[in-house]
Amino acid sequence: MDDPRCCLVTGAGRGIGAAVARRLSAAGHRVALTARSGGELDALAAELPGPALTVPADVTAPDAAERVFAEVENVWGPVEVLVLNAGAGTSAPLHRTTDADWQHALDLNLTAPFRLLRRAVPAMVEHGFGRVVAVASMAAKRGDPYISAYTASKHGLLGLVRSAAAELATTGVTVNAVCPGYVDTPMTDGTVASISALTNRTAEQARAALERRQPIGRLITPDEVADAVLLCVASGAITGQGINVDGGAIQS
């Protein structure tokens, strides 16, 4: 993709979102950043080589999609590249997964991306160009124990991506997902702490167990996930896909 584009990255304050924002900016695009943490967004914006706009928001708020898009449009015009990265995981046995746990997973990992995608599509279709990339998970493709709410939400996200891609296939708008394994991010640090607390293993032992979940024997880096996101942004022929970035854990 040669032309500079107006990009919006959710969950941009750290981890995968920050890595994607850096790569998009380095490629010459304007990058709007949204997350709950305004301080982290400001710090990231200050280091990006190109134009950056910070729009702090809780994407689970019912009015968040409209407010964030309106602010970006007011400054730069329509969003052309949307990276749906905001998300979080929870872990609990099925019988201890509360209604609140379940609803939070759906709100953050599925409903918020749906609202943002819905808000982005009309302008993208009108202009005959759009790239939407959702950061899902290998949990979008298989079931693992103790993460039922997270897994259900990520399966739903991949289903949303596939249906939207089919609907928009002739419009110039592509919709894809990347499905990482365990990535070396603050979210995985939280998973390590949770495993350590529940199993009496040290943090080092817990992290090693997660590393072994990838056949390559290590955690995925945020930049490796960003590689897949940038591929989806660059290509008009990739759509409706869930691209695994998991070190060979799921061969599909």
Per-residue pLDDT of the chain (252 residues; tens, 9 = 90+): 468 999 999 999 999 999 999 999 999 999 999 999 999 999 999 999 999 999 999 999 999 999 999 999 999 999 999 999 999 988 889 999 999 999 999 999 999 999 999 999 999 999 999 999 999 999 999 999 989 999 999 999 999 999 999 999 999 999 999 999 999 988 888 888 878 787 888 988 888 988 998 999 999 999 999 999 999 999 999 999 999 999 999 988
Identity of residue 69: F
pTM of the model: 0.95
> CATH 3.40.50.720 region(s) of the chain?
6-181+221-241
Helices marked H in 86-199 — which ranges? Answer: 99-106, 112-127, 148-168, 186-199
User: Any catalytic annotation for residue 150?
Assistant: yes
Active-site hit among 69, 76, 150, 182: 150
User: Which CATH number is associated with domain 6-181+221-241?
Assistant: 3.40.50.720
Enter the tokens of residue 224.
């490796």
Per-residue burial over 54-68, b if 16 or more Cβ lie within 10 Å, else e, is bbbbebbeeebbeeb
